[in-house]
Structures are given as structure tokens and as C-alpha cells.
Amino acid sequence: MIIGIDLGTTNSLVAYYTENGPVIIPNRLGKNLTPSVVSVDEEGTVYVGETALERMSLYPDSVAMTFKRSMGSEREYLLSGKRYKPEELSSLILRALKEDAESYLGQPVTEAVISVPAYFDDKRRKATKRAGELAGLKVERMISEPTAAAIAYGLYEKKEDTRFLVFDLGGGTFDVSILELFQNILEVRSVAGDNYLGGEDFTRVLEKLFLQKTGIDQNSLSAREQVRLYRKAEAAKCSLQDKGQITMDCRLKEQQQEVVIEVKEFASACEELLQKIRRPIQRSLSDAGLSLKDIDEVVLIGGATKLQLCRDYFIRLFRKFPDASINPDEAVALGTAIQAAMKERRQEVKEMIMTDVCSFTLGTEVVREYEDGTVESGHYSPIIERNTVIPASKTERFYTARDNQDKLRVRILQGESRFARNNLYLGELEVEVPKAAKGEEAIDITYTYDINSLLEVEVKVVSTGISKKMVIKGEYNTMTEEEIAARMEELSYLKIQLRDQEENKLALLRAERMYEETVGERRRILELGIQRFEEALRRGDRSQADTERKALYRLMDEE
């Protein structure tokens, strides 16, 4: 059984394919969405998802979130005295999803198709694959989120010669992909995006408005208060639909603060974010050689597209109503499940050919010589340009830059800047060349980039025929299988919160948070409910514990 996973910045989902189509697998709490939040306590117990989110209010120093934005980097998160890389935290999310899938399906799961933002570069994609391996999953295929959504929408079953724009605004990343259907081939024409733009940024805008109206300096807030404010802003954002204004309240500085925020005011404050959305759209159209009128259909995916503010902006921009018939939170996961079924060659799934593109330009560092004879190093020469259909292979010839040069060093880079120093260093090769006058000796550099984001580089000396090859894994992607196994062993001491305890732990954490946020009679009533629930848990009376848990939730849900 191969499962499909949407490993998101804000929420993650797991799905599988049935004879009736793709199905989302509910998590241990019976919900489709698992918040991409991890908490580790002093005893090494891991809390994932909604339970970790509740712990954030009480133990903010033990919780990490939005770490997908840092995938592939050397950043580390300190949780309860231990350090974790973003891919290690992601592996804990994946491990929990794997366990949920195995419990639901009643069989072991060892392989998965995982989605990644289309604009993820080489190091981020390989970090995602490593996260899967650390979770005990074989990840032979990663699929771009917009492509997965296109599959979920059945765009490959539409009429031929149709162009689609997939607008993917998630919690932390933003992608625009243009796809074209020709016969049974779904071809990605171009991708663009921003790895640091998403729904979370709109939440931060509401936070800022709240602080401005109350005159409170954010730096003066404690870690708990900052978490409390973020949660209130997130809730306010989600309830903004179809309202002219919203009342946002939060207990800060030992006082209950309350402000009214107009939707127009919020929209005005978000103008800069909306402009950031516009730029990747323009770039993707330009790279595909198309204009807005050439797009036949538009699809919205990602939870942030549910914001009416974003939809209104989108309709103004495209002058057409987008297709959002599938839940934007679930479209990518459903697409990964279909891709998994294709990989299994399931007969129920229509065979199709999908092409993808290289999201970033791949090239090398070169020396430039100007007409006056001045030589300047540090320039960038593209070899495979962004949005080239992959797999792709291209060869460029380069010449020696000085007399009697006996070596040539090829620095392999990824990025769009004219200057080598501003692009991502992936690796390098060095070859020896016969000494000669400058420009008389040459090398052919061949870049081959495949569908799994592996880059093979070959450098061949033209005069001697001697060549060197290497497969690029990237500066931050150097873990061997042995090192991965060793790190898996190191992480094995972490214990995912037991499934049968999850509901009870979540209820207690939520109640503790609400107890801290309330005062007076409501606080006393809540305390009594917590005590009754804890007493039932201590007695081990499952039936009574279920009854008291439901009663506690009723108390918490009361206005």
C-alpha cells in the first residue's frame, strides 16, 4: 500500500486510493487535518497536531511550528533542551500520519508519495525526502503541490489544448503553476512562487492591527501572551468571511483587551501582501509566454484561498470566477493518493503522462572579459534555465581564461542572480587541462536534471576526452544511508503520544489554557469540571471519563 501525504506548513493530511476514488484518512482524533505542530516534553514524549497546538499556549518553549519554511537549512529548534532540524520535526509529523494510516488501514505502510511546493529548490526537496526516510517511509516520488491538485481536479480528463493556472496559497508558502493539457499529457509550463508567503502572514497582520489599537508593544509580551494573541488572531481571520467587521478580544497584561477591526481596514493593511501575490503570477505567465486571457481555467488550492479577501482580489485580477469545488485544504492530499495509485498501476486510475519543470535555473560561475580587456570573476552563466521541462540535459562549452592555465574548477550553482555569490552553491568539480594560450583549451559541461530532482554534472576536456562526473546532493544534503539510520536510532527514544490517550490529553490541555485565560465564576466552574474529569481518569473508569470529558467540552464551548 502506497499512501499520499500533503506535508503542509500549517496542516498535513494523509490519503489513500480506493475503488471509489481517493479518500482522506482521519487522524487519531477523527479529523482530516493534522496541524503541522510538534511539541516534545522533558520525558521525550512527542505531541503532534492539535495536542501540540494546545501545549503551545502552556509550554511555548517546547513547541515548534511553521518549520517547513526552513526545510533544507541548518536552522535548529530547541525543544525541552534538545535540538531538532526542520526535517527531523517534519519526520515526527510524517511518523504520526504513518501510524494513523496503519491503524485505519489495518496493515503496515512503508511507502509514500509526498507533495512539495512547486517552488521548492533542490535542497528543500531532498530535505523532505530525508524527513520521510527518518519516519520509516520509502519516498520514491515527490510531486509538486499544484500538479497534485490538478490531478485531484481531474484536469487531465478535460478537453485537449486547455491551459490551467493553479493558484496555491497555503499556510506558509505560495505557488503559481501553469499547466497545459495536450492529448494525454499534462505538461507543467511554468512555476513561480514565494516560500515565505502564506496564510500565516495574514494572521500576523491582524496581530499588528490589534496591538496598534491597544497601544501594546509586542516586545513587552511574554511568550505565553504572544501565543495567546496569535491564536486569537488566527480565529479572527477564519471568522472574517461575509462580515463587515469583527470583534477581537485577548487577555494581555492582566487585562481583557477588546478591539473592533473593519474588513476594509484589514484589506488595506494586507495590500502589501496582495502585491507580493501578484508578482509570481506575472512571472509565471511571462515564463510561459502567455497572458491572462490565454488561461482557460483557474483552480484555487491551499487553506488561505478560503479568505474572502484573497478570492475577491483574485477575481479582480483574472476577471473570472475560479474553481474551488474541492476543499482547498484537501485537494493536494487527494492528488497525492491518485499519484500513489498510478505508481501502483491501479487499473481504476486512468493512465496519463505528466511532465514537470525545473523550478530554478542551474548554472556555473564564469569569468567575464570586457572589450577593454578588463576581466571580472564571479559571474553566473545559466545552463538549464528555470521552467525547462524535465528530465532535461544540456551541454555548454567554456574556455580557459588565462595563459598556461592547467586546471578548471566548475562551481555548480542554482538560482537567478547574475552574480555567482547570490546563488545557491551545490558542489564543484575540478579537471586538469593542457597548458596553452587562453581560450585555446575548452571543456564541455553537461547538466542532466531528472524528475526526482537529481542533478548529474559531467565535465569533459575537449582536447583530451578526459571527463569527470558527479551527482549533486547539495551542500546541506550529505547524509548517507548509514547516517540516516543512526539519526533514526537517536530519534527512536521519542515516544509519540499514545492514540488512546490523545483525546483525554487534548481536553485537559485545552481546559488548562482556558482556565489561565478566564477569571471569576467561569474560572471556578471550569476548575470543577477539570477536577471531575481528572478524578475519572485516575479511577480508570473509561465510561465515566468519556462522560466527564464531554461535559468539560460543553463547559469550554459556552460563551
Give strand pairing partners of 399.
442
Backbone angles phi, psi at 472, to 5 degrees: -80, 125
- Yes or no: say if 348 and 282 are a contact pair by the CB < 8 Å rule: no
As given in the structure block, the three cell numbers for residue 99 are 501510524
Q: Collapsing DSSP states into helix, strand and coil, what is residue 144?
A: strand
As given in the structure block, the three cell numbers for residue 239 are 471568522
- Annotated catalytic residue, options 54, 68, 122, 517: 68
Antiparallel, parallel or unpaired: β 407-414 and 375-384: unpaired
Work out the number of other CB atoms within 10 angstroms of the CB of residue 382. 19
Which residues are CB-contacts of 370 (< 8 A; sequence separation ≥ 6)? 376
126 catalytic per annotation: no
Work out the number of other CB atoms within 10 angstroms of the CB of residue 57. 21
Taking the C-alpha atoms of residue 385 and residue 389, their distance in angstroms, rounded to an integer, is: 10
The type of residue at 301 is I
Closest Cα partner for 74 from 114, 124, 40, 115?
124
Q: Collapsing DSSP states into helix, strand and coil, what is residue 459?
A: strand
Closest Cα partner for 141 from 352, 354, 363, 301?
354
145 catalytic per annotation: yes
What is the DSSP annotation of 111-137? Answer: EEEEEE-TT--HHHHHHHHHHHHHTT-
Closest Cα partner for 422 from 414, 430, 432?
414
- Yes or no: say if 357 and 390 are a contact pair by the CB < 8 Å rule: yes
Q: In what order do the strands lie in the sheet with 389-390?
A: 297-301, 162-169, 174-182, 185-194, 353-357, 389-390
- Annotated catalytic residue, options 50, 88, 133, 168: 168
- Annotated catalytic residue, options 87, 99, 133, 145: 145
Backbone angles phi, psi at 248, to 5 degrees: -115, 125
168 catalytic per annotation: yes
Distances (CA, A) of 308 to 315, 321, 344: 10, 13, 39
6 catalytic per annotation: yes
Residues labelled catalytic = 6, 68, 145, 168
